[in-house]
Every structure is written in structure tokens, then in C-alpha cells.
Amino acid sequence: MTLFSRQSRNLPLVLLSFTAIIASTVIIGSSDDADARHRRGHRTKIVRPPRPPVVALPAVPPLPMDNPRAAAPEAPKPEEKPAGEIQKADPQTTPVPEQKPAPETKPAEEPKEPPKPAEQLGPNPLPKQDAGDKPDHEESVEKADPSISPDRVYQNACPALMNGEVKGELISPLSEGMCGERSPLKITAIGKDNPVKLAAPITTNCAMAGSLATWVVEVQKDAQANFGAEIESITTGSDYQCRKVNNGHKGRVSEHAFANAVDIVSFKFKNGKTTELGSGWRGNPEEQTFWRALHKASCDRFMTVIGPDGDAAHQGNLHLDLGCHGRKCEARICQ
């Protein structure tokens, strides 16, 4: 057998194998294309769920309804036992106090007379102290000195009077319209170590009393130098008087109206000699020297001094006061 005959015999088998290979290739390619198309379809088309329709809410929200499941039936409470049984069952628990019987009601007593109201000394009187309470300083002073009245008028104390620089006493307040003084003094003598009597008591304020006490010390020196004796007494003119200056109907109110002034008229010495301003201002040399020294000493201690050289109203009296002059009350009038 020749080579050609062998090849012609095997040709159908070769064609059949070739055909089978081509068919399998086509089938595999078509499946791959289907898979690719399926993947591409899944990438490009995304399926989204439909949106729920918009529902308009009511204007008034509905009231919440009670949840029937929330209300659970109450558990049955254990029965309470009397206190005696609890103490017997558990001795460690705190014992319950025994209840006391209600007090017996007494018959209503007859109404007593209402207590008399105590005397009220002010809008808010202080409560009375018990007998065992310790009294304060004021009460102890009043008990020690029975002359002090509990109804006294509240005034200012005067150091010159308390220290013995003047002799006298505190008197009741003075009030006459715009005139007056809250704490006036009635003075009978001036000076502490060697007091000089006043021929008649004068009414003045505390400031004037203190100035007169230092003034009389200088006057005593002038009396010794000119008359050779100490002063026994002093005669005064006006002291407290509710009036205008120089007893006029017009003008300002005098310092006499405030117990802030006094007029000096004459002196009596312990050797029996005397001198008056009206005659002594231009009298013998010793009188002139005495009165002018007295005038100078007065201008050093008082705010106003008016003598015979001042005006016609003071020819026979030397006016002394502590009135205010100037905006700062520092000016003096010495005439």
C-alpha cells in the first residue's frame, strides 16, 4: 500500500478531530461572552428600592396611649404583723415604743382677768430684766445715786463742770422759738484751784464755761499786779436772754439768745477794793491798766469782745461771746 492511500484513509479522522476542537472553542467563547454581558449589566444597572410616600403629620400630635403590657399587676404585699410578734420573731430589730394613753381632758377653767398692760415709755420698750440678771452700767449708776431720775432729759455732759473748773449744775433745756440751748449750765463760781464767786448765778453753755475757767486765771494775775489782791467776786450783766443784738428790733439774733455770751460789769477784790468798767476804763492808772489787760486777755480766749471803745451800748459792760465769724469761724472781733 502506498503512502497516499494511508493518508486518504486517515483524513476523515483528522477532519473530525479538527471539527470537534473548533466547536468546543466556539462554545467556550459564547459562555465567556454571556458571563461578561451579565457582569456589565450588574455594574451599570443599580436597582434601588422605591421611596415611601410622604405622609403629612397631623397639626396636633396624638396623645400617647397607655401600653397595656407596661402595667404589670402589683405583687401581693405581705401581711403586717403586730409589733409584739415582730419583736419576738426578730429580737435584733429596733423595739417599737409603746403608745401612751391619751391624757385625760381637764374641764375648762374659768377665764381669768386679762393682765394689765405695762407702761410703755417709747415705741419699742426694752424687755424687763429678771431679778437674777446682772444690771448694766446705767442701771448700776442709777441705783448707786438715787438722785438720778430714770426720766431724765438726755443732754450733753460738760467736762468743765465735771472736772471742777466751774461750780454749778446742768439745768433743763432752754427753748424759746429760735432761741435756746440743749444743755445749759447754771454757774455760781469760776476757777478750780482758787474759785471766784459770781455775784449772781449765770446761765451759759458748756463752751463758755470752759473759756471763763481759763480766762479767770489770767484775770487773777492782773488783779494781783494792779490791786495787790485776788478777786473775791465778779458782777455780771446779761447772760442768757432771747433777744436781738443790742436789744434791737431788727438785725441778727444775739449770742445771748443761745447762752453763748456774758457781760462783765465790775470786780470786788479780797482787800476790799472794787472797780467798775463804766468808771474804771478812764479812771485812775491802776484801773485803766487792769481793764485794758483784762480786755487783751479776753480777746485771746473769746471770738467777740466789745468794750467802751466799741460802741455806745458797751460803755458799762464788757461783752464776751464765742459766736462764729467768717466762713471758717476763725475770725475774731476785738473792740
Domains in the chain (CATH in brackets) are 159-334 (3.30.1380)
Q: What is the pLDDT of residue 117?
A: 47
Specify the DSSP class assigned to residue 86: H
The residue among 274, 273, 292 whose CA lies nearest residue 282 is: 292
Beta-strand relationship, 185-190 and 261-269: unpaired
Q: What is the pLDDT of residue 102?
A: 52
Q: pTM score, two decimals?
A: 0.57
Q: What is the pLDDT of residue 101?
A: 52
Q: What is the pLDDT of residues 83-101, one digit of tens each?
A: 444 444 444 444 444 555 5
Task: For residue 52, give the 3-state DSSP assignment.
Answer: coil
Q: What is the pLDDT of residue 320?
A: 98
Q: What is the pLDDT of residues 8-33, one digit of tens each?
A: 566 666 677 777 777 666 565 555 55
Length of the chain: 335
Parts of the chain with a pLDDT under 50: 1-5, 41-45, 70-72, 81, 83-97, 117-127, 129, 131-132, 134-135, 137-139, 141-142
Task: For residue 289, give the 3-state DSSP assignment.
Answer: helix
Q: What is the pLDDT of residue 51?
A: 66
Q: What is the pLDDT of residue 4?
A: 45
